[in-house]
Amino acid sequence: MKPLGVGVIGTGYMGKAHSVALKAVGTVFDTGLRPVCEMICATTAAGAAAKAKAFGFKRSTDDWRKLVDDPAVEAVIIASPQRTHREIALAAIAAGKPVFCEKPLGESLEDSEAMTAAAETAGVVNMVGFNYIRTPASQLARQIIESGEIGRVVHLRAEHTEDFFADPEAPAYWRTREPGSGALGDLSPHIINAALRLVGPIETLVADVQTVHETRPGPDGPERVRNDDQGHFLCRFEGGAIGSVTFSRVASGRKMGYAYEIYGTAGALRFDQEDQNALWLCDSTKASPREGYRKILTGPEHPDYRAFCLGPGHGTGYNDQIIIEARDFLQAIESGEPVWPTFRDGCEVNRIVAAIRQSHAARAWVRVGDLGKGTAAASSS
């Protein structure tokens, strides 16, 4: 076992999740590299010091540049707002340090392409944080699709819907003020990533995006919302399947509506993150009296489950997804080989987001490959 000094930039929701994962990953997966919580960065010195004490870091700073430049910090996790991702990632890459960046990779496709090009040119280990696709159930879904068990995939219906802004009186804050932090920038990347992982590259799409509550209470009265609340798109995949994807932060009653149905010529799959330890499988080759969905409870025989629990149906949770991400990041650093999803994969998600924006503005179908500089297809390792 070899120690690895890690620095985390950001102390909010995801900063804490990654800090917890760094403490647990060695025990859960018996990794060859054992992360050391070396330094954490927040926007104020006092806040950073308090979080360092709470999360178990040796040191703290309010300047991310000091963290990136510190010789004891051997790998960097970026868990700060997306507008900061490009500058921090490029600095870490220039320093030759492995970088894990929370989704979305960049605030724009241009940012993501610059980050991807820099990481690949430098040969620096890089990953993007798409945690939901790492549940044992979704990993099992990919195995079933790849094995041909449900035949040729012909249709996807997917959504990422939540209700944290369903109340029109919920106050304005940075998530309503930054153009890239609406439902399209915040929620859609997760389910787009799932669509790409499970069905493959998207060839064309047509989209619509909407702000439902155009003003929200601000400190000085009603404040204009500067981004979107919901949207959806129709798409055609390169493999021939068609699909529909919905994303919303105003979907009343939905708490973690990351869900998909995938239909094939010989069966179908259904998954809902609100029941994340179950996958529904339909085998349409069965005789009609026995045809239909059956519920598969995840257990030790399914991907990454055994490391957490030996009891089938006992289940894994949200933080376990982040621990799996930490394992993958350490594996990539130790082996020097890319582990999905890399910056290139994150860049492809940003390309879809850019295509959605363009389609909405033009009220027309868009060919995804025409956007940006045309980086190569996402990795599939």
- The count of other CB atoms within 10 Å of the CB of residue 168 is 12
Task: Return the closest-CA partner of residue 181 out of 130, 252, 106.
Answer: 106
Residue with tokens 């929620």: 187
- The count of other CB atoms within 10 Å of the CB of residue 125 is 25
Q: Could you give the residue range(s) of every CATH 3.30.360.10 domain in the chain?
A: 136-275+277-316
Hey, what CATH topology would domain 2-132 get?
A: Rossmann fold (3.40.50)
Beta-carbon contacts of residue 230 (< 8 Å; ≥ 6 apart): 183, 209, 210, 212, 246, 247, 248, 249, 250, 251
Paired with 246 in beta bridges are 159, 232
Amino acid at 58: K
Over its C-alpha atoms, the chain yields an Rg (Å, rounded) of 21
Amino acid at 176: T
Q: What pLDDT, on a 0 to 100 scale, did the predictor assign at position 373?
A: 66
Beta-carbon contacts of residue 168 (< 8 Å; ≥ 6 apart): 213, 216
Q: What pLDDT, on a 0 to 100 scale, did the predictor assign at position 381?
A: 41
Q: Could you give the residue range(s) of every CATH 3.40.50.720 domain in the chain?
A: 2-132
Q: What pLDDT, on a 0 to 100 scale, did the predictor assign at position 288?
A: 72
Label residues 214-236 b or e (16+ Cβ within 10 Å = b). eebeeeeeebebbbbbbbbbebb
Q: Which helix (H) or strand (E) holds 115?
A: helix 109-122
Q: What pLDDT, on a 0 to 100 scale, did the predictor assign at position 287?
A: 72
For CA atoms 352, 354, 355, 359, the dihedral sign is positive
For CA atoms 23, 25, 31, 33, the dihedral sign is negative
Q: CB-hemisphere CA count at 13 Å for 275? A: 11
For CA atoms 265, 232, 237, 107, the dihedral sign is negative
Residue 44 is encoded by which pair of tokens?
């104020």
pLDDT in tens, 123-170: 999 999 999 999 999 999 999 999 999 999 999 999 999 999 999 999
Residue with tokens 């490029």: 90
Q: Cα–Cα distance between 13 and 158 in angstroms, integer? A: 25
Digit-by-digit pLDDT tens for the chain (381 residues) are: 899 999 999 999 999 999 999 999 999 999 999 999 999 999 999 999 999 999 999 999 999 999 999 999 999 999 999 999 999 999 999 999 999 999 999 999 999 999 999 999 999 999 999 999 999 999 999 999 999 999 999 999 999 999 999 999 999 999 999 988 999 999 999 999 999 999 999 999 999 999 999 999 999 999 999 999 999 999 999 999 999 999 999 999 999 999 999 999 999 999 999 999 999 999 998 777 777 899 999 999 999 999 999 999 999 999 999 999 999 999 999 999 999 999 999 999 999 999 999 999 999 999 999 998 644 333 434
Task: Return the closest-CA partner of residue 352 out of 259, 232, 211.
Answer: 232
Q: Is the distance from CB of 233 to CB of 205 less than 8 angstroms? A: yes
Beta-carbon contacts of residue 258 (< 8 Å; ≥ 6 apart): 132, 159, 160, 190, 191, 194, 272, 273
The answer regarding whether domain 136-275+277-316 maps to CATH 3.40.50.300 reads: no
Q: Is the distance from CB of 41 to CB of 63 less than 8 angstroms? A: yes
Going through the chain in order, the beta strands assigned E by DSSP cover: 2-9, 33-41, 59-61, 75-78, 99-102, 126-129, 153-161, 202-210, 215-218, 221-224, 230-237, 242-248, 257-264, 267-272, 278-283, 293-297, 366-367
